Amino acid sequence: MIIIVTGTDTGVGKTVTTAALAIRCGAGTIVVKPAQTGVGPDEPDIAVVRRLAGCEVAEFTRLEDPLAPDTAARLRGVDIPPIREYAERIRELATHRTVLVEGAGGLLTRLDTDGGTLLDLAAELAPVQVYIVTRVGLGTLNHTELTVNALRARGLEPVGLVLGCVPGSLDLAEERNLTELPRVTGVPVAAAIPEGAGLLAPEQFRARTEAWFDGARVTARHEVR
């Protein structure tokens, strides 16, 4: 099985969501980051996943600058693999186990210098399960609908929305969006992950993961915290 984790934007909580999904998928799961940019002194996304979930990870391309992968590659004159090569490697890994693929930025962020995107990769790997990580604040309805529509235009139906970085105290827009997001997209909310979850100790993170995916917890403000 192959699962794709995308987001409506950068910084919405894809990495923490990927770690939580890896825990739910169980032993033998491997998490793949096709392209990692902004490699520096901070802990890279794939290392965060390994620390929180304790699963096997793989990173195919690493680029120094904190830019979209194709932009970072062009800046440095670096050749990076095309989407089809990423797809071949992921298929090989998925022969006997679950592979979770975390994208970079949003769905249409280019992963190679030929214009290939995570959407192209998902279509190449289909059938796949796709989770969309989104914010709960003002502006999220438009961003989330655009992402859902882009997937559907390629024949890919997302299996769930994940509300990333949910604050403990919700304003009016955030509170309303808990129900508006599934209403306007037609996609169920699969999980609500609280702000700061990635800072938890691994054992605490793993212990709380199942509760974040409990559907009843995403329908009421006081239960999202």
pLDDT tens-place string over residues 108-149: 999 999 999 999 999 999 999 999 999 999 999 999 999 999
Residue type, 197: A
Catalytic residue among 29, 30, 33, 209: 33
Determine the number of helices (DSSP H) and then strands (DSSP E) in the chain.
9, 7
Active site residue 33: yes
Please spell the DSSP secondary structure of 118-135, one letter per residue.
HHHHHHHH-S-EEEEEE-
Average pLDDT score over the chain: 92
Tell me the three state secondary structure of residue 92: helix
CA distances from 108 to 1, 51, 117, 123 (A): 23, 28, 5, 12
26 and 152 Cβ atoms separated by less than 8 Å: no
pLDDT tens readout for residues 22-34: 999 998 999 999 9
CATH number of 2-217: 3.40.50.300
Whole-prediction pTM: 0.92
Q: Is 37 annotated as a binding residue?
A: yes
For every residue of 58-82, DSSP letters joined together read EEEEE-SSSS-HHHHHHHHT-----
Q: How far is 211 from 115, CA to CA, in rounded Å? A: 38
Instruction: Check residue 158 and give its pLDDT.
Output: 98
Mean pLDDT, to the nearest integer, of 141-165? 97
Residue with the bigger pLDDT between 182 and 45: it is 182
104 is in an annotated binding site: yes
| 103 annotated binding-site participant | yes
Q: What is the pLDDT of residue 216?
A: 41
Delimit the domains of the chain by residue range: 2-217
Overall average pLDDT of the 65-80 stretch? 93
Is 13 annotated as contributing to ligand binding? yes
Q: Which position has the higher pLDDT, 60 or 40?
A: 60
Backbone angles phi, psi at 105, to 5 degrees: 65, -135
